[in-house]
Chain A
């Protein structure tokens, strides 16, 4: 009752479904992106796995460095430098906050 093409079509549909599943899932999985917000507005999202330097220009300037799977603030023009002194973050839910510049660097 089933032809070869039927099975091929079913296999193709299942493969497509699996690909879409695999492709869309990591976005919702926590622990691999760095989310930067300035004054509650999203500034950017960066993968934790890629090394890069981001100059966050909002109210002030904070230099975000993503290196070896963790993120830290290298320098900032804020007066208290709490963000700069914060240890590098890498775990889901961790965040570095710079209150004067209203910058939040969050891992999710």
Chain B
């Protein structure tokens, strides 16, 4: 992992409120793997205290630059959307464990919901380079929110789209589309990124069909390097760090709804003491 000052060489608003930034960093672009992320300092710390924000590596220009794709959803991304070309951003990366794949894979399915295309486009490019055949399925609420459709179409054997309002591709969610088509496509492995509920349903379908399923999840993070233990994700093997053990997990291992306290088993967790402990 590196801490670099990365120059912004391009900034594009590819859809309303969705930005693509290209940042120069030979170090990060050389060692990045699909599914890994970068931890970015947004805005000027002298004006305002902001924790770093994690972003999936969207694509790399080998040995030179990498891209991130983000939507303005809060104060960090709002600051980031205001950077100008030639500004330098303080970036730590590449971080975390990415998607696992081997050239032996016969067929894969990449499933993205909304901004979930962010880590998957990098993966699509890697799979193409390794001659792995794959399908892509992209879902969004509306046609304008459907991101990177053309890019996937260029790389995948077949690219499906689903919009919830039916304005483009299949009418409905990407999960419904998967459930209708999975028995025909029969992928060996599914790679997915998107909202948690979507990932849960995809993992369930994958398990029903005995398909390996790797999902990229997100969590609120502070340090991003595994020191603060803030970004834990509940898995069937206990708490795991999203930043260090993830952000890609096997769908089977995740305890879905883990962030919803009520749904979790109480044994093993010390509630009585936890509530009053004020720190660390």
Q: Do the two chains bind? A: no
Binding site for A on B (CB under 8 A): none
